[in-house]
């Protein structure tokens, strides 16, 4: 039986099997460790570019599980003992078995700061290496996000809800939807206007790419010629199709229903509704959260996912947190190129200025433009998109850099009901705006264009005893950011929009008021 030592000895004489032009240095290369046990590198070589190559060989799943620990240890000792930078060293892991090794190796590959390659060794019947085969990395796990639209099923009596709950779980199994929360919520307030005090509140995850194909096959999806605008062809997202299918299959067991959002759930909990129980299709994740409070925090999260408000504090000094915040912010601002690219540019600038900076975020980006304008002008509720990122730069003198985003009006577009609603049913339009906001960027941008409204972004630099400097951020065609001085051509505020469009706003208030189900 050929063992790892036999394979190692054979490969030292046949390094071309591993990689052409490798120069053999030593086998079982000893590494000293003044703080603990040392180790022995199976094969140490040098490549044609002058980099050292640490080669580890494993022959079974059992020993393969030890490989990553050993590689990390050997690489650390080798760099420390010989004063080498990570770019001057790399690793090759050779294994005959990858069943137990692939997933941890793939994660290891993504997080280390040096080059590491994995290959499967192909042996002949006598156990002698013939060749190697590249091992594709296991796909990175997709981060979980809550779908922003929920289903609320309401009941007059609890017994009917209990039957509906069991039916709902059956439907979700049939559709192969595994990641969901079904909240059992009871009204315990004193309002006599609540006719249906028993709620079944359904929340789905955004479907992962790996799930979509099987779930789509289980849905009864029909093509529709119904479009919002002749210039835009928008299809419902798969999650909304799934929610619609669930409503249809549960129809006989519903007294009434409403659309839910994270805001809606928070409002219910603040107005006499109490969560009695939570069912989930993902038992593993439920165990991680441990309690209902953790689940509610996830659904109404203020740090990404389905969040309408993004709040966070971070620093470049903590790189894992810094990178996670950057990634989360890109996801949160998806569809808003100026704010997304501008925020990323600001991130990089702050990090280049000082890794000791403290950065605070507060961003509201949770409503489509129709919903925002209706609430702002007609109800006095401030649901307008706003962005504020404040970077405190330590030093002498202290410096503060602020990125501010808002809406502005171009001053020459004067909408009316016909140009906006275009003979569509206003109820349908409010619904589609709410549905496709953040899901289909073109849909929302088209509606903003019809109002002459666009996003803006400004950088404000404040230093002690110096006049604040304000500059405008503009995106070039290649998505690079330019900083421009403030001029008289800066867009007008929504107050100016109100002054010059009073007639349209009166129409919007009347139409929106009749569509309260979608704008309240």
Are residues 222 and 330 both part of a single domain?
A: no
pLDDT of residue 228 exceeding 50: no
Average pLDDT over residues 174-178: 92
Has residue 189 been placed in a domain? yes
Residue 409 has pLDDT above 60, yes or no: yes
Q: Could you give the CA distance from residue 223 to residue 225 in angstroms, rounded to a whole number?
A: 7
341 and 254 both lie in a single domain: no
Q: Residue 479 domain-assigned?
A: yes
- pTM, two decimal places: 0.53
The residue among 268, 299, 330 that closes a domain is 299
**Judgement on whether residues 123 and 157 belong to the same structural domain of the protein:** no
Contact status, residue 274 vs residue 332, Cβ threshold 8 Å: no
Lowest mean pLDDT among 111-125, 146-160, 231-245, 490-504: 231-245
Mean of the per-residue pLDDT values for the chain?
83
- Determine, yes or no, domain membership for 143: no
Average confidence (pLDDT) over 265-279:
88
- Which parts of 125-242 are beta strand (E)? 129-134, 150-155, 180-187, 198-204
Last residue of a domain, one of 134, 166, 197: 134
Say yes or no to pLDDT of 168 above 90: yes
Q: Does residue 24 carry a pLDDT above 90?
A: yes
- Structural domain includes residue 144: no
Sequence-ordered list of residues with C-beta below 8 angstroms from that of 1, at least 6 positions apart, any chain: 127
484 falls within a domain:
yes
Q: Are residues 130 and 259 in the same domain?
A: no
Containing 404, the helix (H) or strand (E) segment is: strand 399-409
Q: Is the pLDDT of residue 287 over 80?
A: no
Residue of higher predicted confidence among 228 and 349? 349
Give the mean model confidence (pLDDT) for residues 355-373.
Answer: 83
Q: Kindly state whether residue 140 falls inside one of the protein's structural domains.
A: no
Together in a domain, 262 and 357: no
Shared domain check, 480 and 454 = yes
Q: Is residue 40 part of a domain?
A: yes
pLDDT of residue 489: 54
Strand, helix or coil for residue 352:
helix
Same domain, 18 and 116: yes
Contact status, residue 146 vs residue 205, Cβ threshold 8 Å? yes
pLDDT at 230: 45
Q: Label residue 10 exposed, middle or buried (CB < 10 Å: 0-12, 13-18, 19+).
A: middle
In this prediction, residues 233-252 reach a mean pLDDT of 82
DSSP calls for 127-145: S-EEEEEE-PPPPPPPPP-
d(CA 44, CA 5): 14
How is residue 236 written in tokens?
A: 């419902």
Same domain, 317 and 346: yes
- Quote the pLDDT of residue 222: 56
d(CA 101, CA 137): 11
Closest CA relative to residue 144, chosen from 335, 288, 291: 288
Q: What is the pLDDT of residue 478?
A: 86
pLDDT of residue 306: 47
Confirm whether 142 is domain-assigned.
no
Answer yes or no: do 345 and 419 share one domain. yes
Is the domain of 38 the same as that of 157? no
**Number of other CB atoms surrounding residue 316 within 10 Å:** 22
Question: What pLDDT sits at residue 233?
Answer: 42
Residue 288 confidence (pLDDT)? 53
Only one residue has tokens 């441990």, namely 290
Whether residue 477 sits in one domain with residue 349 = yes
**What total of structural domains would you count in the chain?**
3
Residue 41: CATH number of its domain: 3.40.1350.10
Domain, as residue range, for 270: 150-299
Last residue of a domain, one of 90, 110, 134: 134
Contact 407, 332 (CB under 8 A): no
Q: How many residues does the chain have?
A: 520
Quick one: 260 and 345 in the same domain? no
Q: What is the mean pLDDT of residues 405-416?
A: 92
Sheet of 23-31, strands arranged across: 23-31, 39-46, 52-58, 89-95, 115-123, 129-134
């Amino acid at each position: 039986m050929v063992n790892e030592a036999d394979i190692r000895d054979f490969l030292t004489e046949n390094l071309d099997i591993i990689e052409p032009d490798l120069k053999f240095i030593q086998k079982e290369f000893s590494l000293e460790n003044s703080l603990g046990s040392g180790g022995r590198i199976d094969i140490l070589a040098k490549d044609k570019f002058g980099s050292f190559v640490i080669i580890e060989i494993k022959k079974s799943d059992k020993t393969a599980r030890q490989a990553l620990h050993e590689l990390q240890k050997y690489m650390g000792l080798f760099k420390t003992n010989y004063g080498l930078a990570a770019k001057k060293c790399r690793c090759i892991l050779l294994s005959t078995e990858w069943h137990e090794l692939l997933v941890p190796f793939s994660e290891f590959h993504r997080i280390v700061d040096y080059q590491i390659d994995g290959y499967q060794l192909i042996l002949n019947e006598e156990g002698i290496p013939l060749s190697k085969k590249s091992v594709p990395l296991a796909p990175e796990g997709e981060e979980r996000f809550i779908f922003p639209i929920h289903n609320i099923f309401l009941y007059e009596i609890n017994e009917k809800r209990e039957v509906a709950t069991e039916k709902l779980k059956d439907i979700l199994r049939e559709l192969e939807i595994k990641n969901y929360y079904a909240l059992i919520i009871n009204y315990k307030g004193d309002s006599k206007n609540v006719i249906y005090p028993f709620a079944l509140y359904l929340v789905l995850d955004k479907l992962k790419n790996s799930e979509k194909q099987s779930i789509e096959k289980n849905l009864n999806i029909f093509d529709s010629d119904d479009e919002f605008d002749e210039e835009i062809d928008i299809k419902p997202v798969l999650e909304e199709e799934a929610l619609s299918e669930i409503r249809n299959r549960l129809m006989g067991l519903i007294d009434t229903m409403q659309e839910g959002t994270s805001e809606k759930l928070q409002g219910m909990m603040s107005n006499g509704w109490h969560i009695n129980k939570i069912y989930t299709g993902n038992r593993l994740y439920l165990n991680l959260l441990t309690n209902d409070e953790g689940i509610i925090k996830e659904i109404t999260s203020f740090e990404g996912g389905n969040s309408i408000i993004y709040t966070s504090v971070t620093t470049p000094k903590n790189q894992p947190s810094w990178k996670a915040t950057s990634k989360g912010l890109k996801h949160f601002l998806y569809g808003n190129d100026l704010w997304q690219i501008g925020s990323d540019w600001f991130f990089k600038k702050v990090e280049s200025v000082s890794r000791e900076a403290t950065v605070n975020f507060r961003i509201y980006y949770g409503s489509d433009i129709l919903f925002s304008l209706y609430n702002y002008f007609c109800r006095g509720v401030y649901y307008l998109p706003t962005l504020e990122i404040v970077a405190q730069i330590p030093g002498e003198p202290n410096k503060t850099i602020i990125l501010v985003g808002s809406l502005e009006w171009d001053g020459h577009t004067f909408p009316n009901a016909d140009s906006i609603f275009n003979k569509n049913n206003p109820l349908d339009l409010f619904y589609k705006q709410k549905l496709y906001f953040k899901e289909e960027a073109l849909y929302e941008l088209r509606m903003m264009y019809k109002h002459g409204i666009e996003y803006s972004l400004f950088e404000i630099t404040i230093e002690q005893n110096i006049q604040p400097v304000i500059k405008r951020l503009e995106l070039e065609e290649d998505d690079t950011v330019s900083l421009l001085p403030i001029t008289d051509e800066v867009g007008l505020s929504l107050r100016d929009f109100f002054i010059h469009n009073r007639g349209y706003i009166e129409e919007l208030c009347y139409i929106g008021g009749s569509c309260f189900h979608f704008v309240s």
